[in-house]
Amino acid sequence: DRDPGLDPRLDDDELSIIVAIELCHDVGKPVVLDFWASWCSPCAQSFAFLNDLDRELRGRGLQVLAINLDERPDDAKGFLAKHPATFPVAFDAGGVCPQDFGVQGMPSSYLVDRKGIVRYVHLGFRRGEATILRGLVEQLLAEGPEND
């Protein structure tokens, strides 16, 4: 099992999404990629949901990865002290990844299939949306490698 929280390999202001996925993503696994910030109140709720997804679906091949966009890493670390993550978390204070993905708000979740193709983008987070998001993740997991 991996250590939860900040992955020291990913503590880099110039982090690119390709590097993040190469470091944390086993090829052939679907990914939930989440952009977040410490000042984002819905991010606390989304972290609880992402932890549930990670714990419940990691064994079926799901990879959850969160990219923090705070300018100061200490802000992110404070958030993670209150809302620990069971999945890898990376920093991108320089904002490279959100530009590449066209992030428009936080949290923003991107569901990426086994081939690395973004299949669904979800902006914001409300508890009632968890069932819908989980269903979309389950669909990606059900698409075995032979279906790609």
Chain segment 83-130, per-residue pLDDT in tens? 999 988 888 767 667 767 778 888 999 998 888 888 899 999 988 889
Compute the radius of gyration of the chain from its Cα atoms.
14
Chain segment 32-81, per-residue pLDDT in tens? 999 999 999 999 999 999 999 999 999 999 999 999 988 888 899 899 99
Q: What is the pLDDT of residue 6?
A: 46
Q: Is the dihedral of CA 98, 103, 109, 113 positive or negative?
A: negative
Please report where in the chains the tokens 């990670």 appear, as a residue.
54
Would the pLDDT of 147 be above 60? no
SS3 36: strand
Tell me the average pLDDT of the chain: 80
Instruction: Report the run of H or E that residue 79 belongs to, with start and end.
Output: helix 73-82
Q: What is the pLDDT of residue 20?
A: 53
Residues 6+ apart with CB under 8 A from 1: none
Residue 55 is given by DSSP the state H
Mean pLDDT score, 132-138: 94
Q: What is the pLDDT of residue 27?
A: 60
